[in-house]
Amino acid sequence: MNINTIGIIGGKGKMGRLFEPIFKRYAKKVLLSDMTSNEKIAKESDVLVFTVPIASTIEVIESLLPLIRKDQLLLDFTSIKEKPCEAMLKSSASVIGMHPMFGPSVQTLEGQTVVLCPVRPDEWLDWIVDLLRKEKATVIQTTPEKHDRMMAVVQCLVHFTSLLFSKTMKEEGINPEELFQYASPVYRMQLYIAGRIANQSAELYRDIQFQNPAFEKTLENMTESFETMKSTILKHDGDKFEETFKEIQDFLGPEILDEGQTMTNMFIKLMRSSC
């Protein structure tokens, strides 16, 4: 496939800048829009990529719909896929939702996972899969609904768990430096994850939590699990605790138990040597 122009709406953001040199290897021109030039770039591009904050994605896509032609490919980099894909499908163009599962701090796509939701891919699917494989990314294809359901766990639930851990500690009124003195290795790992997450942008995390339609159900599951576990502890119900523990062991399975032990042992060694 011969691509003349790839246009990136929101291209002057960090993800746009990461992808600019990559896309340059597969098109004659890559145009970056800082929002003022959206319309011009939408018209000139064969492939139009949206990488703008989640909360503005739908609005930005819809504002350009009247300009979009059938022979173009629309792609978006949003962390949720159902709503942006719906918005892009209102055009007559080809549409592939795309979620690069990493932040702009990576150097290359090598070894990174990219999820594709080819909702109306036409002849473009091979092109983008080929491009990503040449860049050595791991490509997963699924539906927007399934993508969002998976993200409700691998993003929303992980972020929520870490923020809940931090917020609870804060409410305890104990200084984290003092806690650190008493830190077990697992506590230190959990605290480092909390530090990493709190070191990112509140807006990004807010949008991931607010905009994923599948997270509401996950939060309901979490509420039930929380209440069951809390009452098990307050009632000192040993049988119920062991049943829950066994349930979790069976669910994770021997492979993740093993790998978890091995990998965290390696993390602990690393923490010790970096002290």
Q: Residue 225: what residue type?
A: S
Q: Give least dist CB 85 to a second copy, A.
A: 17
Strands 113-120 and 94-100, sheet pairing: antiparallel
**Token output for 199:** 């070191």
Q: Give least dist CB 156 to a second copy, A.
A: 9
- The phi, psi pair for 75, rounded to 5°, reads -130, 150
DSSP letter, residue 119: E
67 vs 150, beta carbon nearer a second copy: 150
Q: Give least dist CB 181 to a second copy, A.
A: 6
SS3 assignment, position 78:
coil
35 vs 154, beta carbon nearer a second copy: 154
120 vs 188, beta carbon nearer a second copy: 188
104 vs 260, beta carbon nearer a second copy: 260
Query: How many residues make up the chain in this entry?
Result: 275
SS3 assignment, position 20:
helix
Burial string for 122-133 (b: 16+ CB within 10 Å, else e) reads: eebbebbbebbe
| 24, 103, 98, 29: CA torsion to nearest 10 | -10
28 vs 55, beta carbon nearer a second copy: 55
Q: Give least dist CB 68 to a second copy, A.
A: 29
DSSP letter, residue 158: H
Q: Give least dist CB 84 to a second copy, A.
A: 17
63 vs 218, beta carbon nearer a second copy: 218
Q: How far is CA 135 from the centre of its chain?
A: 19
Q: Give least dist CB 67 to a second copy, A.
A: 30
